[in-house]
A and B are shown apart, each in its own frame.
Chain A
Amino acid sequence: MKKWIQGTNAVVFSVAVIGIFIILTLFLNSIGTFQVDLTKNKQYTLSDQTITTLQGLDQNVEALVFLNSQDAEVYTREVTDLLAEYHKVNSKLEVKTYDLLTNPTLAKQYGVTESAVVLKKGDTTKIVPVYDMFADGAGASDMSAESAEASASYQFSGEEKLTSGLLSLSSSTTHKAYLLNGHNEFATTDMSTLMNHLKEEHITISDLSLLQEGSIPKDANLLMIIGPQNDLSDGETKLIKQYLNNGGKLFLSLGFNEKMSSSWKNLDSLMSMYGVKDTHAVAVEPKDTSLYDPLTIIPDYGQHEITAKLAANKLYTMMSLSIGLQLEAVKGWTTTPLLTSSSNSYGETNLSGLLESKTERDTKDLAGPFDLGFAVADAKGEPKAVILGGSTFMMDQEIVQQANLDFALNSINDLLGNSNKITIRPQEQEQYQTANLSLSQAKIIFIGTVIVFPLLFVIVGIVLWWRRRRG
């Protein structure tokens, strides 16, 4: 009887322990990102934008990963590792991995012929080729095992591509923005990175020549003027003001021009509508306080939704050749500084000297600090305009620096009412190191690890066996 009770107790106890283990494992598994990322560049810490996008998934999304087994492991694992992190944030994103060569029918169904991720939501699919996620190094052009592993380094932009893919699946709202031309503004080709990102966020940009069109199209959600060299004509200004008074929104960023103090009457009047005064001086940060050249300023952020997350994460916007602005409050508008130069800065008024790289401070120069950008909202708090002192940070060669891209996209998204897209975007990652081994080094490694190292244990084993036998 006693044995029976003890036996039953042991069985019940064992079953209970197994049950607790199963429940605990399933529970812990559902917690998701209860983790610390110890990789060099926080490679597996998802960006703000990715987390927001994943949390916003309202229905199941499948990520079908088709991998060619011929591709190098170092590449393909980046994609699967990253998607595993996505799954941790929201289990609605299900990841399924297939061998491209053994599942040709399924791959064909989605039109996949090379390693790719197919994002599928209902009947909508988006294909993100693995090839597109890698840049620089041989890996970008050739994914075969030998040559890919032979590449010295590569950059992985998988998070950026996959999150954009998810955004394009999730978002159905599109916005139309017009980029004014005719005043030597920046062309879309100078800002292709920014334009591509706007496109991925469903913001369509079209060029607009007011001289040709004669009016601002009715479908315009936003008017963009980026880097104008020459002033607007009176007629154009009238049309723009009319558009703005009828509820239109403005993204205006100035571009340095030698004659701006005398010839920017209409541009100045446009800004003054919202209480922004152009000082016509270029903000200069003295050499002793600047890491970069004196004309490149790393401004402090103001208190605004556009910059809040960037400030919290210490990601800076780099404004070069920016015109100093000042605030002159106008009734009916709330104008909030977005970027401010340091108190050491000054406003260079000798613009012809600036062109010859002369930036000595003199008595004619204005004392800093300056605001380099403002966000304007109406009485109800609705975003109306973003006015910036400089535009070069949006050009292809500069937008990749620090938070320039985030700042530009956040500003535009804020104007368009896309407050859920005001985030920090994924950064590219630097990858592994390689070494070239000579034939003699390879031989030493072979002899050392494959022959000598195991032999040491064999010798110890034989000695022990011998001693036992004798003993």
Chain B
Amino acid sequence: MHRSKLNKFTVADFIMIVIIVLLCLTCVLPFVHLLSKSISDNAYVLAKKVYFLPKGINFEAYIAIFRDGQLTHSMLYSAMVTVIFTVLGLITTVMAAWPLSRRRLKGRVFFTFVIMFTMYFGAGLIPTYLLYSKLGLLNTMWVLILPLIFAPYNFLIMKTYFQSNIPDSLEESAYLDGASNTQILIKIILPISKPILATIALFLAVGRWNAYEDSKFFITKKSLHMIQYLLSMMVLTASESEKISISEASLVTTTPEVIQAAAVMFVSIPILCIYPFVQKYFVKGIMIGAIKG
């Protein structure tokens, strides 16, 4: 910001930089540690000698993951669910956000209320479970997709974006040229709304990729579980056994630890790879979409 350039570099500036650097380290170092552990030799991990550099490099844990096959299967399945979810979610969000962002639309206040109310009052887990069961959604892939593709929060951000970024005059002139409502949306509005479309797509994709409650609640078939659920099961079993590991510390073998580190890296790597490239889009999108007016 140019206003701060006028100031000299002060002690306060120095302290702030130190704080930010330390915070950043807390975000990076755990992964460096995990990565090192996952490619280190068991003996070194067991001896607690692995900090931020791998020792006695080997990739056995990763080989084990691929050989086992279940994690790779879940990974592909999760990727497929995430893609379907994101595409359908984006379409339905536009279908609500665009009409309700138009001030001329009769009944928009009412319809917006109908959608937003569900954000503040949910029926809770049990009624939801009974509903899905009645609809025959339990133990299908669709229970992970259909109920969640349309989220009021995403709708609100996109609607705000359309309201504050698409001038009425743009729509009006297209209309006078003979374009229909659908044509206006597809040919004119969507191409100039890429930042918000990218943002919402990312929200949808990340939300779906990371959530696993529904996997646990509504699915019992092993082949239909999302990857994060499998990972959470691995973590859960590891943490439950902590009680044992305290009393019988000497009996603990570190192999599960290395495998777990490798599994976490395996699940995180797609996000860690894509993330830096999409980051600039979503920040811009939220900046424009989240501010009122």
A, B from the same assembly: no
